[in-house]
A = this chain, B = another copy of it.
Amino acid sequence: MSLKEDILEVSRRMLMKHGFGKMSMRKIAKQVEVSATSIYLHFKNKDELLLELIDLSIANLTRAINKNVEEGDDPVTKLEKMADSFLDFAIKYPQEYEIIYMVRPEEMPEYPKEKFEQVRKIYEMLADILREGDRAGMLKVDNPLTSSYIIWAQLHGVASVIISKRLDTRIPTDEFMKQAKDHIIQGFIKQKTPA
């Protein structure tokens, strides 16, 4: 593994363990067992390092979401799989998830809008599936884009609550996740109206 990759790996781990605020170039360098100066050979500065980290995280999330979806799946199954994968990713890599959704534009002066655009692709993917389901008569969707944002917002809320450990300890995480997800998706499934 190259030094650059080492640095990214360690940074990510540090971000995951101690949060955004405590990620320091020096500490990264020490953990990679390299001089602090060396980081600057691979990244212009801390912001750039962070940016690459975000890039990677977005790529990972995008990949994760599509991982289980198969060509032949029907739209509802696809939707379910995506929702599952989304929540799984958030729970499994909370800080990576947070890099994407919780770093605010204001926090980093040089934060390029295009990163956000990149994330939007995820909603577009979702919107595509909604459209597909609508056409197939399986989903009830007025405005695919709005709906995909609604789904995502809700999933994001669920993920946030779990990640930030705000869930009541009496509620089992797994069950909460499953019920919430069902609730979210159910709202879009077309009721089979008999006769």
Contacts and interface: CB of A to CB of B under 8 A. Distances in A.
Copies in the complex: 4
Given A21-B22, A21-B107, A154-B157, A149 B164 contact: no
A189 to B, nearest CB: 11
Given A17-B106, A107-B18, A107-B19, A158 B168 contact: no
Q: Which of A17, A19, A145, A176 has the most CB of B within 10 A?
A: A19
A123 interface: yes
Interface in A141-195: 145-147, 149-150, 152-158, 160-161, 164-168, 170-171, 175-176, 179-180, 183-184, 186-187
Given A157-B155, A158-B157, A160-B101, A116 B21 contact: no
A164 B104 contact: yes
User: Which secondary structure dominates where chain A touches chain B?
Assistant: helix
A20 interface: yes
A88 B2 CA distance: 48
B119 A166 contact: yes
A120 interface: yes
Q: Which of A154, A157, A187 has the most CB of B within 10 A?
A: A157
B19 A106 contact: yes
B167 A158 contact: no
Contacts of A175: 146
A15 to B, nearest CB: 11
Contacts of A102: 102, 164
Contacts of A101: 160, 164, 166
